[in-house]
Amino acid sequence: MPSTDHADLKAHMADNPGAVIEDVARERNVTPRSVIEALPSSMVRIGSGEHFAAAMQDIAAWGEVTLIVHTYDAIFEFTGAIPAGEIGRGYFNLMQPKGLHGHLRHERCAGVAFVERPFMGKSSAFVAFVNTDGGIMFKVFVGRDETKALRTDQMERFRQLAGRIALAL
């Protein structure tokens, strides 16, 4: 079984910053949060889960993004605008009748991670909502323009949001 030593994980992520977080977590028998925290410090900032609703409301104003839910059995991707939401009946409810909608257990969010790293030969940036078990509830990726570059307006919003709610590791 591979080592789960923190220094070893940090070295692995320094050498492989674009590795699929969930795959590394499974291979090394650690949580996805541990993998995110092992990324080079210049690539990640994490804020408290209490900022879940504020982060989601901000993201709802970004325009077209890609939301990914990655489980052992499937990777679901939605590309479009994230709807605004509100807290009610114990959930953060995404408020639109069609497209992406649903009910999120916001109180299980223990961290909001902002990650900027290379992935598949390109720059990528995403917000990962991390649950109380160290798993990733879902990720929201900054959108790309017609040239496949990260949208500059969204990168500005991403960095502003990270600056408001997250700390560097």
- State how far the Cα of 108 lies from the Cα of 133, in Å rounded to an integer: 8
**Token couple for 147:** 């040239």
Q: H-type helices in 29-166, by residue range?
A: 32-38, 52-59, 152-165
134 has pLDDT over 90: yes
- State how far the Cα of 9 lies from the Cα of 3, in Å rounded to an integer: 8
Contact criterion met (CB below 8 Å) for 106 and 92 = yes
- State how far the Cα of 52 lies from the Cα of 115, in Å rounded to an integer: 16
4 has pLDDT over 60: no
Q: Average per-residue pLDDT in the chain?
A: 94
pLDDT band with cut points at 50, 70 and 90 for residue 169: low
Contact criterion met (CB below 8 Å) for 116 and 137 = no
Q: In this predicted structure, what is the pLDDT of residue 152?
A: 97
Q: In this predicted structure, what is the pLDDT of residue 168?
A: 59
Question: pTM for the complete prediction?
Answer: 0.93
- State how far the Cα of 94 lies from the Cα of 60, in Å rounded to an integer: 10
User: Where are the chain's structural domains?
Assistant: 41-168
Fold category of 41-168 in CATH: Heme iron utilization protein-like fold (3.40.1570)
- State how far the Cα of 71 lies from the Cα of 6, in Å rounded to an integer: 24
pLDDT in tens, 29-64: 999 999 999 999 999 999 999 999 999 999 999 999
80 has pLDDT over 80: yes
